[in-house]
Structure formats: C-alpha cells, structure tokens
Amino acid sequence: MDTFALVVVIGVALFFTYTNGFHDSANAIATSISTRALTPRAALVMAAVMNLAGAFLGSGVAKTVSEGLIATPTGKQGMMILFAALAGAITWNLITWYFGLPSSSSHALFGGMVGAALAGSSTVYWSGVLEKVVIPMFLSPIVGLLVGYLAMTVIMWIFRGASPQRAQRGFRIAQTVSAAGMALGHGLQDAQKTMGVVVMALVIGGVAEQSEAIPIWVKLASALMLSAGTYAGGWRIMRTLGRRIIDLDPPQGFAAETTAASVMYSTAYIFHAPISTTHVITSAIMGVGATKRVKAVRWGVAKNIIAGWFITMPAAAVVAALSYWLVNLAFG
C-alpha cells in the first residue's frame, strides 16, 4: 500500500478533527460565555484541556465508527473512499461554520462515509447506520429537550425561595463545573470518531489489525487536534447557541450543560453510540428555555437549526460521492 496515500488520509482525518474542534467548541462553552460565568478565553482554554482528557476515557464509539457503519474497504480504492468521506465532512463543516449554523460534525462524517462507500461500491451496514446513527439522531434531541425541561423545572422548584442574586452567583460558579463536564463529554465522543477513521486507514494500509487496541499515538494526535481546534474557537456558532435561541441565565445554562453532558456519557458508555453533541446541547437549551415560557425560545432560529440537522447527512454524502468520483478520475 502506498505510504503516501496513508499519510495523506491520516492528515486529512486530523484536519477534520481540527474543524470539528472549532465548529463544535460552542457546544461546551457558549452557554457559559453568554451567562458570563466564564470569559471567552478562559472558557476556550478549559474546553481544550477537557477535550484532551475526554479523548482518553473510552474507545467504544471509535469501534462503532471503524467497524459498524461501512465495511472496511481495501487497497487503493479504500484510501480513496476514506479520503472522499473526510472531504465531504470537512466541506460541510466549513459551510455550516461560515453561516453560523450549529450542524453536526459527527453526522457530516457519517454522511461522508456512507456517500463515499456507495460511490465506491463498498458495503454499507444499513442496520448499523440505522441503530447507531439514525435512531440516536432522532432520539437524542428529544431526550435532551425533555430532560433539559425537567432539570430546569427541578432547579426552579428547589430554589424557589432563594434570593435571585445569590442563586445567580452560585450557578455561575456551578456552570464552570457543568461546562467542564460538557467539554469532557465532547472529547469522549468526538475525538473517538476520528480515531475510528484513522484505525480504518491503518487497517487498509496493512499496518494494523482491526482487532488491535487503538494506538496511543492515534489517541494523542486526535485529542490534540480536537483541542487545538477548540481553542481556535467557533465564534459564529457560539452566537447562535448562546444568544439567538434564547437569552440564558446561569441556572438555565447549568441545567442545559448538565443535561447534555449526562446524555453524552450515557450513550458513549452504555450504547457506544456516536451521538451529536450539537444536537444534544441545542435541544437541551430549547427544553430549558421552554420552562420560562414557550415563546421565550426563538423557534424560528430553532427551526433553521433543525432543518440543518436533517440535511447534514445527505449533503455530506453527496459531496463525498462527488469527491470520490473526482479522486477516482484523477488517480483511479
């Protein structure tokens, strides 16, 4: 196997992780910044460090990505499929980042993998796509919405007699913990997705076996690139999550972050499902905001975000298929 092709694919995979980091950094810290619990720079540093730590907390999601969605392609064609899948995901990440839309980097990657596999006549495990991607794609936002609503309702009941000023101060402090937990969960989920792709590339390149443990250097490289991207920040998307959906206060921010982090840990450890951190935190913010009053949530903005969720996988799949055909035309 051409070593150059292997190096290129791994490099593109790590660049995807970088775009994932700055695209999804808003997931962990937008609420904390909007409530002024953390300064933007302190929040970014915290998120980058916790993303790095989270990447070493498990490997179940990586295994799902590397083995459960598409058959591991072989030879030169396999490298072209992986390259095209990543190209589709990166392109969609950059488009949605430019327009400030908090779409899912995860589903961009999965859509890219499916689109490239179909274009390259490789096998797609549709049962795996349905069980590990499509069903969680619908369920996780619903769970985030409902749990966010319930969590905020409980907080409002517990602190119903507390001084508003004192409660605000306390929850600003608590938000530093919930934001850290959110960032840790982001590292746990999203760094593993790239690890899975890199492992596929190593297997195709004949330098690793599918059954082997993920090499430490793969974990470290994926984690560092995700953290670097996170530190670079995704200011456009932060504005959408932090202000345009609803103006959050510290108790609401704490409830949304705690809800999202809980869902991410549960799906990673129990189901090994690679869910979208974007979907979960966005829906949690909506659920929390609805406790104030339903009209407090800017549902027009929410509608545009949800529309972006539904088109992410097919859009990334189409770009990946086109990328495969172009690469195949040039190097096939």
Q: Could you tell me the residue ranges of all domains in the chain?
A: 3-331
Mean pLDDT of 315-331: 92
Per-residue model confidence as pLDDT tens digits over 170-221: 998 898 899 889 889 888 888 888 999 999 999 998 888 877 889 999 999 9
Report the SS3 class of residue 291.
coil
Confidence of residue 38 (pLDDT cuts 50, 70, 90): confident
Using a pLDDT cut of 90, give the percent of the chain over it.
33
What's the pLDDT at 34?
A: 73
Q: Is 232 in contact with 22 (CB distance < 8 Å)?
A: yes
Q: 261 — alpha (psi -120 to 50), left (phi > 0) or beta?
A: alpha
Long-range contacts of 92-99 (CB under 8 A, 24+ apart): 92/312, 92/315, 92/316, 92/319, 93/16, 93/19, 93/20, 93/23, 94/19, 96/23, 96/308, 96/312, 97/19, 97/22, 97/23, 97/234, 97/236, 97/237, 98/236, 99/236
pLDDT at 229 over 90: no
Confidence of residue 58 (pLDDT cuts 50, 70, 90): confident
What's the pLDDT at 141?
A: 84
Look up residue 202 and give its two tokens.
Answer: 């190593």
pLDDT at 237 over 60: no
What's the pLDDT at 94?
A: 87
Mean pLDDT of 57-65: 86
CA distances from 226 to 179, 204, 270 (A): 17, 24, 23
Mean pLDDT of 137-151: 90
Q: 71 — alpha (psi -120 to 50), left (phi > 0) or beta?
A: beta
Measured at the CA of 86, the angle between CA 84 and CA 87, to 5 degrees, comes to 60
pLDDT at 239 over 60: no
3-class DSSP string for 113-168: HHHHHHHCCCCECHHHHHHHHHHHHHHHHHHHHHHHHHHHHHHHHHCCCCCHHHHH
DSSP state of 68: S
Mean pLDDT of 267-273: 86
What's the pLDDT at 79?
A: 93
Q: Is the dihedral of CA 79, 82, 88, 94 positive or negative?
A: negative
Mean pLDDT of 286-299: 75
What's the pLDDT at 242?
A: 47
Specify the pTM: 0.86
- Strand ranges inside the chain, DSSP E: none
What's the pLDDT at 276?
A: 81
